[in-house]
């Protein structure tokens, strides 16, 4: 975890206090059910919950000190709770194994982390939607291969991002369901020493599904799918970040990250406004993506379990969720306050001397009966002149002076092909698809 790329709510989820609190809840709910089932005295759960109702502080250093001796984290925690609660606490953890606690706790943490991330996505989507409608008909050049193609609108770019992050949200909801399961099934998952109803009870209380079959642990294909999904979401963040970085290039400058007055872009070049937030997001995406791999390597644990996954999850559990939360927040801020320059967009759009309209002319020629090959040749030879003039010549004028072209199209017909609005006729259709009926 890198503090500068962390926000408090998500970070708190991974603090020892939060973990111990979830452990307690799991143990107390389990003891409660064990009491109902007559396995332990009902007084045991009552003692636990009574103590819990006093809102006790979790003494992390004390627990750590016990672990330093026992070299076992759950035993250390249980020992400490027993010291606080007294004799009744000895009934805790009856028939359970450490992993019942650890894995169910991780499920709670990942589910809560997912909830935060889903909220992040909702905020991002809201901001993107606003900018999309704001610039629904702001013309800008569409580029393939970095080269001017045909006109689009800036709103369409935002609509694409909206559709993409909507997919990300759906994926995250699915990924949350993957990992939000509870396992209280004992040493090798056979419930030999614990009634399956305990698991059902704890699952229900914690808002989890029951794990249909566990070994000692919850199977790690679930976590692999979860972290792989985060990696895909991070890649979508990178995509939008790279778009902003491109738009802010000196020669393009169609948009800029908001520049706060006190900010110095460079110690050496005071005029520079660098897209540092989106560059940063590009790097963060690389990290979240990388975490998918060890998560996948974690799947093939030996037999009923080994513990190799644990160290991996101590890194990627916090690192992937905290980083992604931060990145989504940062991206939301970038898009929210993005400085958009419609005039510059129009200027860039115009700068190629109308070349971006060549496709329409090409079509008009073929529709007028010229063969595809000839049409292509007529347009291309004029287009090349414009291209080589660096936008000084006008394609429309050249075409109007080309005998082969004018043999098929009138000047008026040629001019009509250079109309910008023509390209935006279906923007409503696309917006309806993406945002629903307005």
- Which positions are catalytic? 145, 266
- The piece of 30-38, 120-128, 262-270, 404-412 that touches its own copies (CB under 8 A) is 262-270
276, with CB counted inside 10 A (0-12, 13-18, 19+), is middle
- Of 274-293, which residues contact its own copies (CB under 8 A)? 274-276, 279-280, 282-287, 289-293
Q: Which two tokens stand for residue 266?
A: 């460079």
* CA 77 – CA 64 distance, rounded (Å): 8
> In this chain, which of 55, 260, 403, 438 binds its own copies, going by CB under 8 A?
260
Q: Which is nearer to its own copies, 134 or 259 (CB)?
A: 259
Q: At what angle do helices 196-206 and 98-134 cross, to 10 degrees?
A: 30
CB of 26 to its own copies, least distance (A): 14
Residues facing 255 on adjacent strands: 340
Q: Which is nearer to its own copies, 248 or 332 (CB)?
A: 248
Q: Which is nearer to its own copies, 57 or 269 (CB)?
A: 269
> In this chain, which of 83, 207, 258, 266 binds its own copies, going by CB under 8 A?
266
Q: Which is nearer to its own copies, 22 or 172 (CB)?
A: 172
CA distances from 408 to 276, 375, 396, 398 (A): 52, 10, 15, 15
> In this chain, which of 270, 403, 412, 437 binds its own copies, going by CB under 8 A?
270
CB of 47 to its own copies, least distance (A): 15
Phi/psi-derived region of residue 391, left when phi > 0, alpha when psi is between -120 and 50, beta in every other case: left
Q: How many CB atoms are closer than 10 A to CB 39?
A: 17
- 437 Cα distance to chain centroid: 26
- Of 217-256, which residues contact its own copies (CB under 8 A)? 219, 221-222, 224-225, 228-229, 231-232, 234-236, 238-239, 241-243, 245-246, 248-253
* CA 384 – CA 46 distance, rounded (Å): 84
* CA 261 – CA 200 distance, rounded (Å): 56
Q: How many CB atoms are closer than 10 A to CB 31?
A: 29
CB of 377 to its own copies, least distance (A): 8
Residues facing 256 on adjacent strands: 339
Task: Assign 3-class secondary structure to 321-370.
Answer: HHHHHHHHHHHHHHHHHCEECHHHHHHHHHCCCCHHHHHHHHHHHHHCCC
- The piece of 52-60, 108-116, 119-127, 261-269 that touches its own copies (CB under 8 A) is 261-269
CB of 308 to its own copies, least distance (A): 4
- Of 7-46, which residues contact its own copies (CB under 8 A)? none
Report the C-alpha dihedral over residues 391, 397, 403, 409, rounded to 10 degrees: 110
> In this chain, which of 38, 61, 302, 438 binds its own copies, going by CB under 8 A?
302
**389 contributes a contact to its own copies by CB under 8 A:** no
> In this chain, which of 69, 401, 407, 411 binds its own copies, going by CB under 8 A?
69
Q: Which is nearer to its own copies, 55 or 125 (CB)?
A: 125
**359 contributes a contact to its own copies by CB under 8 A:** yes
Among residues 85, 80, 82, the alpha carbon closest in space to that of 61 is found at 80
Binding map of its own copies across residues 136-175, x = CB under 8 A, - = no contact = -----xxxxxxxxxxxx---x--xx--xx--xx--x--x-
Q: Which is nearer to its own copies, 55 or 289 (CB)?
A: 289
- Please list, in sequence order, all residues whose beta carbon lies within 8 angstroms of the beta carbon of residue 358, skipping any fewer than 6 positions away: 379, 383, 395
CB of 197 to its own copies, least distance (A): 10
Binding map of its own copies across residues 80-119, x = CB under 8 A, - = no contact = ----------x--xxxxxx---------------------
């Amino acid at each position: 975890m890198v503090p500068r790329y962390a926000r408090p709510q998500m970070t708190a989820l991974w603090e020892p206090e939060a973990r111990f609190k979830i452990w307690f809840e799991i143990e107390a709910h389990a003891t409660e059910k064990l009491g109902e089932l007559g396995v332990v005295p009902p007084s045991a759960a009552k003692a636990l919950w009574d103590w819990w109702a006093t809102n006790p502080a979790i003494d992390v250093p004390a627990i750590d000190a016990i672990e330093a001796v026992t070299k076992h984290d759950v035993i250390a925690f249980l020992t400490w709770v027993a010291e606080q609660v007294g004799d009744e606490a000895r009934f805790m953890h009856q028939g359970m194994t450490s992993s019942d606690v650890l894995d169910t706790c991780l499920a709670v943490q990942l589910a809560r982390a997912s909830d935060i991330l889903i909220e992040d996505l909702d905020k991002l989507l809201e901001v993107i939607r606003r900018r999309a409608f704001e610039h629904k008909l702001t013309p800008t050049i569409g580029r393939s291969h970095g080269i001017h193609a045909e006109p689009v609108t800036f709103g369409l770019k935002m609509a694409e991002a909206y559709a993409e992050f909507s997919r990300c949200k759906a994926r995250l909801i699915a990924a949350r369901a993957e990992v939000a399961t509870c396992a209280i099934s004992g040493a090798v998952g056979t419930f030999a020493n614990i009634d399956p109803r305990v698991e059902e009870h704890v699952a229900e209380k914690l808002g989890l599904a029951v794990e249909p079959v566990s070994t000692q642990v919850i199977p790690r294909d679930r976590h692999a799918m979860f972290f792989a999904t985060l990696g895909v979401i991070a890649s979508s963040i990178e995509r939008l970040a790279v778009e902003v970085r491109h738009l802010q290039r000196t020669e393009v400058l169609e948009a800029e990250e908001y520049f706060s007055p006190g900010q110095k872009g460079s110690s050496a070049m005071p005029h520079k406004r660098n897209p540092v937030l989106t560059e940063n997001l590009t790097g963060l995406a690389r990290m979240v993506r990388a975490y998918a791999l060890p998560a996948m390597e974690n799947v093939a644990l030996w037999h009923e379990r080994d513990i190799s996954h644990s160290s991996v999850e101590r890194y990627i559990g916090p690192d992937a969720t905290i980083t992604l939360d931060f990145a989504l927040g940062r991206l939301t801020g970038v898009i929210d306050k993005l400085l958009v320059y419609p005039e510059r967009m129009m200027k860039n759009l115009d700068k190629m001397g109308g070349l971006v309209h060549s496709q329409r002319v090409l079509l008009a020629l073929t529709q007028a009966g010229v063969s595809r090959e000839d049409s292509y040749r007529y347009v291309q030879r004029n287009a090349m002149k414009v291209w080589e003039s660096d936008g000084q010549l006008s394609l429309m004028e050249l075409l109007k002076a080309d005998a082969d072209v004018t043999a098929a199209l009138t000047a008026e017909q040629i001019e009509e092909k250079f109309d910008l609005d023509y390209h935006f006729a279906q923007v409503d259709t696309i917006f309806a698809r993406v945002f629903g009926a307005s």
